[in-house]
């Protein structure tokens, strides 16, 4: 466990269902979860820490509702409107 700027980050052996196997880190405010192989990845940290702030900005529950509704149309990857900025920050870091 680590705390960075008030964000609580936890290392877990595997991100659980309902997340697909391709997901290795996830933010569910107030926590950020990372699998061991990405725990020290500063670029993925930038991505997840952006989601943490974005979820606060949206007051958490509306963010998750919007995410799930938009996932129907965009899937859960780079094209999802609530993922774009996270991926932009992650890519800028690399």
Which whole-number Å values give the CA distances from 56 to 40, 52, 87, in the listed order?
24, 6, 18
Token pair recorded at residue 20: 């697909």
pLDDT at 76: 86
Answer whether 58's CB lies under 8 Å from 15's CB: no
pLDDT at 62: 98
Number of domains in the chain: 1
Taking the C-alpha atoms of residue 24 and residue 13, their distance in angstroms, rounded to an integer, is 10
- The residue range of the domain holding 61 is 2-93
pLDDT in tens, 3-62: 999 999 999 999 999 999 999 999 999 999 999 999 999 999 999 999 999 999 999 999
**The 3-state secondary structure of 26-94, one letter per residue:** EEECCEEEECHHHCCCHHHHHHHHHHHHHHHHCCCHHHHHHHHHHHHHHCCCCCCCCCHHHHHHHHHHC
pLDDT in tens, 45-59: 999 999 999 999 999
pTM of the predicted model as reported, rounded to 2 decimal places: 0.95
């Amino acid at each position: 466990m680590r705390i960075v700027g008030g964000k609580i980050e936890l290392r877990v052996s595997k991100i659980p269902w309902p997340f697909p196997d391709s997901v290795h880190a996830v933010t569910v405010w107030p926590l950020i979860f990372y699998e061991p192989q990405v725990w020290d990845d500063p670029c993925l940290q930038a991505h997840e820490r952006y989601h943490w702030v974005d979820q606060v900005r949206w007051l958490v529950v509306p963010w998750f509702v919007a995410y799930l509704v938009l996932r129907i149309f965009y899937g859960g990857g780079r094209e999802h409107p609530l993922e774009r900025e996270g991926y932009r920050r992650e890519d800028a870091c690399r």
